[in-house]
Amino acid sequence: MNSHQIITVFVLAAAVFHSAQSHAAIIGTNVPAEPLTLARIEMLPSGQQAAWKLYLETSAQQRRADQQLLQKEMGERGLATSVIPPASRGVGSMPLNRRADWYETKDARRIADIIVSFQTPAGGWSKNIDLSDHPRAAGEGFASDNSSRYVGSADNDALKDVRWSYVATIDNGATTAELRYLAKVISALPEDQGTRYRDAFSRGIDYLLAAQNPSGGWPQVWPLQGGYHDAITYNDGAMVNVMELLREVAATKEPFAFTPQAVRERVEASVERGIECLLATQVVVEGKRTAWCQQHDALTLKPTAARNYEMPSLCSAESAGIIDFLMELPKPDSNVVAAVRSAVAWLEKTQLNDVAFRNVGDKGRLLVPAPGSGPLWARYYEIGSNRPIFGERDKTIHDRVDDISFERRKGYAWFTDGPAGVMKRFPKWNAARAAR
């Protein structure tokens, strides 16, 4: 970093800290994302409508298949409502870091059997289920209770059916983690013992390919659930997780060597379309590429909202994950190189030094001076001004973090040091590109 950049970063950090001490302002209201609908598709140029209509109908068909199976099982068991499966935060019930020979054990296969039992007819999995507890029983739901604890009126998280939410998703590592686990078990077993798991893995890959929209992106939930869940989702690395998995499958990286050539070719084409989507959604401000939002509208590709406190903006952590993915491509073309360089320049411009986000007595977490600390990034930056912004459950957007509620300051990662790793890896990557 040169002296001019150091001064710029210091001034920005000082400005952010000063704003936390001065009078705050509500600078806007978060507008809910638009779902993908037939009415919106019919506003597209006629040549683009057929692919989107097929995508929407495929979603409806797969959703019906998921629901009809569960309803049939409930009828056979005389159940008025489905049984809610046990919950488990994240994917901890599926160990993905054991020795290769562990995945042929009885314990490993038991978890694999449970995973297969919770696969939806569409081919995906829900999130936050304890997949080490028991196989799914007839009439038991595919998803645990994924409803928000803080839903208010006109909330972006309001559900039409609390028992049918995130039934299959790529959120929180779901579906990609199950596929990685099954691949490890398949690779550890003799071919004649892995048929059931290979079939489930194949259906899971088909699920991911079906979920990819005509723009090349993935929604958070498939079949489509409506609301912000229909948007192209970079939040918490969702789409990048999918693309990393598919790229490894296409390259026959272990433990995916068992994948047939025809599948690898389909997957490779999917990854290429995904890369095109990444490049197309990079936000351009005054002719310059910057970074990415957590969600982008499936049709317009523009930044869009998610939950009440997640507004259209430039997002540091998600952008860092995308940059990492692009830097790992074996043969990046000039468009990829330009996208990476621009995004890193944006991260360099927006990083904060000499501040920390920490607990201050009974006031909760605040942004405070911390000489020598950093670099640190706000999670959200206003598009155009690059000033950090913060959201509240009532959808108001604020320009200082200590103006939002104690609950939101405590329960959300408004600042992150995640992009620091990308900044360290970039110079070597960039030098290699310049040498060619």
Among candidate residues 30, 128, 146, 172, the one labeled active-site is 172
Taking the C-alpha atoms of residue 65 and residue 372, their distance in angstroms, rounded to an integer, is 57
The rounded distance, in Å, linking the Cα atoms of 235 and 224 is 17
Active site residue 386: no
Name the token pair of 152. Answer: 């208010």
Q: Among 198, 172, 199, which Cα is nearest to 183's?
A: 198
Residue 103 contacts residue 94 (beta carbons within 8 Å)? no
Among residues 26, 10, 22, which one has the least CA distance to residue 376? Answer: 10
**Of residues 410, 395, 336, the one with CA closest to residue 151:** 395
Q: Active site includes 156?
A: no
Would residue 240 be called left, alpha or beta, if left means φ above 0 and alpha means ψ between -120 and 50 degrees? Answer: alpha
* 3-state secondary structure at position 83: strand
What is 220-288 written as a DSSP string?
SBSS--SGGGGSEE-GGGHHHHHHHHHHHHHTT-TT-TTS-HHHHHHHHHHHHHHHHHHHHHS-EETTE
Residues forming the active site: 172, 307
